[in-house]
Chain A
Amino acid sequence: MIYALTQRLLDRLWNIAGTVNIRVKILGIVLGLVFLLGLAVTLQVRHLLFQAMYTQLGEQAVAFTRDLAARAADPILINDLYALHVLLQDTQRNHPDVVYAFVVDPDGYVLGHTFNGGFPQGLLSANTVTSDAYEHTAILDTSEGQVWDTAVPVFEGRAGTARLGLSDRQVLRTIDTITGQLLLTTVMVSIIGISAAVFLTWILTRPILDLVGATQAIGRGDFSYRVKRWANDEIGKLTDAFNIMSAALQKAEAERVEREQMRAQYVHGVISAQEEERKRIARELHDSTSQSLTSLMIGLKALEDNCQQCRRQTHVIELRSIAGRTLDDVHALSVQLRPSVLDDLGLPEAIRRHVADIQKRTALDIDLAVTGLDTRRLPPEIETALYRIVQEGLTNIIRHAEAQTASIFIEYSNDKVLAVIEDNGKGFDLTGIQQQDGHLGIYGIKERAELLSGHVEIESEIGHGTSLYVEIPVPADEIHNGRH
């Protein structure tokens, strides 16, 4: 029961201690130590003072009374009551803590006292001493506080008894003063302690806070941050270890960036080569193959017109039709590989023609909107990339989406170009796609966008179509007014 309670108390204490920061902990330790030490010392000193000063008070009461008794003997013996009165008055005047003094004759009659107007009731019988005793002290509880009442026989009791009351007011005052001084000292030491603790905390937490800052910098990707080494202690070692780790991370990051650059260059090279190759093939198809086919068609036409054997005429017409279709196919292939319109008329027109071409071939209803590019052209690599992205997106829709409608929206504004390609198709599971590295369609789109520092977002849900967002930044100085 008690164990459980202690455990709970300790847990709560630990919880409280755990939530405050190091600064408060150190301050708490210092303050607690100083406070406890000050309190303990104060109480102990107070205790010792009480003992010492009350012992002293008792001894003082005896000394004063012995002195009074010695000096009272002659006045009593010669019945000089005035001298006795003066002696009692002097005794009280010379010792401020003497509350009263009086002398009793052997028959118990008061010969002289320091009270004005009468004698306190019960005081006479409150303390007695035998004539052969050295003294007898009684502690009386009076209306003026505690009084050490000492009785000393005068002239071995033959001349009576001297009584003197010594108050402990001065003792209490002194003890209170010293206690106050000690507490003041404690407070002052506490203030010094707080200052020292604040300084110490600063010394201790400065490297830790530095390390926190450095950790945050590394979290942000800044590996160049190094923590200053303040001292050759555990934290100094931690700092060293941290700095070594930072350096290693920086090196690893540099290597990674280099690799990434190499990869990007490689990909860029591949894409460029692909584009170039497509361009060359398209040109070849257009310039050479198309010309040959056209020549072939002209020849066939002439053959058809000069038909000698009309039985064969039908066959020639058929051949010319095949050649015409082949010419159309070659033309379409050439456009698909690298539309010259992209270079000549720009992105909006190239996309428009591509969309028109698709709509000619399929039942897909495509809604196209291009804004912000009426009077200016994007850099060629961005135009090519966007064209290929739209091309790839539409191809995907036709191949996989089973969609009835699609929309393409391209907008240039604020130094960036945004392309959105949406369809109302069957959609797909994003998690499945993103884990599928082999899916080249989407990978190609991402690759192209990222090469131009852009990024791609895909939103899709099974049965609710797909949206593809592509955003590519356009450096302002690379915008060209008018046409290429």
Chain B
Amino acid sequence: MLVLLAAGCGAAAPSPDRARIDLSARQPLPARYDQGIMPLRVSVAAVISPRGTAESYQPLLDYLSAVTERPVELVQRRTYQETNDLIESGEVDVAFVCTSAYIAGHDEFGMELLAAPEVGGESVYYSLLIVAADNPASSISDLRGKVFAFTDPMSHTGRVYPTYLVHELGETPETFFSRTFFTYSHDDAIRAVADGLADGAAVDSLVYDFALERDPSLAKRVRVIHRSPPFGIPPVVVSPNVRPQQRAILQNVLLTMHETPTGREALRVLGLERFTLIEDSAYDSVRYVTAAVGTLAQ
């Protein structure tokens, strides 16, 4: 009994690890100080989710940091437009942007092409119309009255091209689909279709291949019902404010990347073969489709 009593009395809360902290005694947080060395600020458009981006671009960023001997900072934003704004204001030096974002940036403030990835020997990509694996739809017309997931308002493959397809049927997405929504990234759009949240979505073929490679189970849950004509691949761009010397260094790093083992590894992680030079004219087909749809940038 005494033992029991002693045990009962000893049942107290665990003792604290450290000295007492007064939660009501508050102080302003210190301001962020600027680091001495200006990091190379790289932005990646939200083609895939922020975490996916951070993971897959990390080897590339590490490579850039090692070659340029500067710290590299990854800057991400939710929308393409926000990224374009950062490029225009010079808050980022290099950006991996979406095709339509490049066209908008080029037309609005002279965004400059630095390089383009090459996949399968080509610098093109496609918009893929996908539905759930058990969905009997075979073309865009079968998705009438269904729920459709767009990626980003500015995405060429995820928003502009499917809108173009709907326009060709003489409709607008607002009337053709029962409901549309934005996922802000292509991998989320694939998951939205796989999970049945949306009946259909249009995604970047590079992202699609990449996502299937990372998660093979997705292949059983979604299928492609339409493939667009080739479009100019999303490029690497620089702000027009970047000094030519800096621009040349960065271009050289990217173009020679596939020649070193670490560079090749970083490319492999991204599903790319190498970076190559690209002309603005490579995006004329995109411009055509965009013009047919009208200005969608918000």
* Co-assembled chains A and B: yes
Contact B32 A109 (CB under 8 A): yes
Q: How many residue-residue contacts, CB under 8 A, span A and B? A: 122
A54 to B13, CA, bound (A): 7
Least CB distance from B71 to A in Å reads 12
Select which of B9, B15, B32, B51 is within 8 A of A139 by beta carbon: B15
Least CB distance from B95 to A in Å reads 14
A236 to B21, CA, bound (A): 73
Contact B23 A138 (CB under 8 A): no
Whether B5 is near chain A, meaning CB under 8 Å from some CB there, is yes
Whether A455 is near chain B, meaning CB under 8 Å from some CB there, is no
Least CB distance from B254 to A in Å reads 23
Least CB distance from A419 to B in Å reads 76
Least CB distance from A157 to B in Å reads 12
Contact B23 A100 (CB under 8 A): yes
Highest count of chain A CB atoms <10 Å: which of B18, B23, B51, B77: B23
Task: With CB as the reference atom, state the residue of chain B lying closest to A138.
Answer: B17
Over the window 3-18 of chain B, the binary record of Cβ atoms lying under 8 Å from chain A Cβ atoms (1 yes, 0 no) is 0110111111111111
Contact A99 B23 (CB under 8 A): yes
Task: With CB as the reference atom, state the residue of chain A lying closest to B79.
Answer: A78
Select which of A44, A119, A140 is within 8 A of B8 by beta carbon: A44
Whether B24 is near chain A, meaning CB under 8 Å from some CB there, is yes
Contact B10 A73 (CB under 8 A): no
- Kindly identify, within residues 163 to 222 of chain B, every residue whose CB is under 8 Å from any CB belonging to chain A: none
- Kindly identify, within residues 1 to 56 of chain B, every residue whose CB is under 8 Å from any CB belonging to chain A: 1, 4-5, 7-30, 32, 46, 49-51, 53-54
Select which of B1, B17, B25, B49 is within 8 A of A36 by beta carbon: B1
Least CB distance from B83 to A in Å reads 10
Task: With CB as the reference atom, state the residue of chain A lying closest to B53.
Answer: A77
Whether B75 is near chain A, meaning CB under 8 Å from some CB there, is yes
Contact A73 B50 (CB under 8 A): yes
Task: With CB as the reference atom, state the residue of chain B lying closest to A105.
Answer: B32
- Kindly identify, within residues 202 to 254 of chain B, every residue whose CB is under 8 Å from any CB belonging to chain A: none
Contact A172 B77 (CB under 8 A): no
Report the stretch among A141-149, A357-365, A391-399 that lies at the interface: A141-149
Whether A168 is near chain B, meaning CB under 8 Å from some CB there, is yes
Whether A369 is near chain B, meaning CB under 8 Å from some CB there, is no
Contact A168 B53 (CB under 8 A): no
Contact A139 B14 (CB under 8 A): yes
Of the four ranges (under 10, 10 to 19, 20 to 34, 35 or more), the interface on chain A belongs to 35 or more
* Chain A interface, DSSP helix/strand/loop, else mixed: mixed
Select which of A42, A79, A100, A118 is within 8 A of B29 by beta carbon: A118
Whether B78 is near chain A, meaning CB under 8 Å from some CB there, is yes
Whether A47 is near chain B, meaning CB under 8 Å from some CB there, is yes
A73 to B29, CA, bound (A): 22
A432 to B14, CA, bound (A): 90
Least CB distance from A118 to B in Å reads 3
Whether A46 is near chain B, meaning CB under 8 Å from some CB there, is yes
Highest count of chain A CB atoms <10 Å: which of B7, B12, B13, B76: B13
Whether A481 is near chain B, meaning CB under 8 Å from some CB there, is no
Q: Are A141 and B20 also in contact (CB < 8 A) when A47-B7, A119-B26, A146-B13 are?
A: yes
Q: Are A121 and B22 also in contact (CB < 8 A) when A78-B50, A79-B76, A139-B16 are?
A: yes
Contact B27 A121 (CB under 8 A): yes
Q: Are A121 and B25 also in contact (CB < 8 A) when A74-B50, A140-B16, A140-B17 are?
A: yes
Contacts of A117 in B (CB 8 A): 26
Contacts of A122 in B (CB 8 A): 19, 21
Q: Are A74 and B49 also in contact (CB < 8 A) when A118-B27, A140-B21 are?
A: yes
Task: With CB as the reference atom, state the residue of chain B lying closest to A171.
Answer: B13
Whether A43 is near chain B, meaning CB under 8 Å from some CB there, is yes
Contacts of A109 in B (CB 8 A): 29-30, 32
Contact B27 A43 (CB under 8 A): no
Contact B23 A40 (CB under 8 A): no
Select which of B11, B26, B51 is within 8 A of A74 by beta carbon: B51
A383 to B24, CA, bound (A): 114
Q: Are A142 and B7 also in contact (CB < 8 A) when A78-B50, A109-B29 are?
A: no
Over the window 159-173 of chain A, the binary record of Cβ atoms lying under 8 Å from chain B Cβ atoms (1 yes, 0 no) is 100000000100110
Least CB distance from A424 to B in Å reads 80
A340 to B296, CA, bound (A): 163
A99 to B24, CA, bound (A): 12
Task: With CB as the reference atom, state the residue of chain B lying closest to A54.
Answer: B14
Whether A126 is near chain B, meaning CB under 8 Å from some CB there, is yes
- Kindly identify, within residues 46 to 67 of chain A, every residue whose CB is under 8 Å from any CB belonging to chain B: 46-51, 54
Over the window 122-145 of chain A, the binary record of Cβ atoms lying under 8 Å from chain B Cβ atoms (1 yes, 0 no) is 110010000000000011111110
Least CB distance from B127 to A in Å reads 24
Whether A187 is near chain B, meaning CB under 8 Å from some CB there, is no
Q: Are A78 and B46 also in contact (CB < 8 A) when A40-B4, A118-B29 are?
A: yes
Least CB distance from A97 to B in Å reads 14
Least CB distance from A377 to B in Å reads 85
Q: Are A78 and B78 also in contact (CB < 8 A) when A46-B8, A47-B7, A50-B13 are?
A: yes
A47 to B11, CA, bound (A): 5
Task: With CB as the reference atom, state the residue of chain A lying closest to B32.
Answer: A109
Least CB distance from A67 to B in Å reads 15
A117 to B28, CA, bound (A): 7
Least CB distance from A106 to B in Å reads 11
Least CB distance from A62 to B in Å reads 15
Over the window 153-165 of chain B, the binary record of Cβ atoms lying under 8 Å from chain A Cβ atoms (1 yes, 0 no) is 0000000000000
A46 to B5, CA, bound (A): 11
Least CB distance from A391 to B in Å reads 84
Least CB distance from A246 to B in Å reads 47
**Could you jot down 29 A-B contacts, CB within 8 Å?**
A39-B5, A40-B8, A43-B9, A44-B8, A46-B8, A47-B11, A48-B11, A49-B11, A51-B11, A54-B13, A73-B50, A74-B49, A77-B54, A78-B77, A80-B78, A118-B28, A120-B22, A120-B23, A121-B21, A121-B22, A122-B21, A139-B16, A140-B16, A140-B18, A141-B18, A143-B24, A144-B23, A146-B14, A146-B16
| New A-B pairs, 9, CB < 8 Å, besides A119-B26, A158-B54 | A42-B8, A44-B7, A77-B53, A78-B77, A118-B26, A122-B21, A138-B18, A155-B51, A158-B58
Which residues does A use to contact B, with CB under 8 Å? 36, 39-40, 42-44, 46-51, 54, 73-74, 77-80, 99-100, 109-110, 115, 117-123, 126, 138-144, 146, 155, 158-159, 168, 171-172
Which residues does B use to contact A, with CB under 8 Å? 1, 4-5, 7-30, 32, 46, 49-51, 53-54, 58, 74-78
Ranked 4 nearest A-B pairs via Cβ: A43-B8, A118-B26, A47-B11, A77-B50
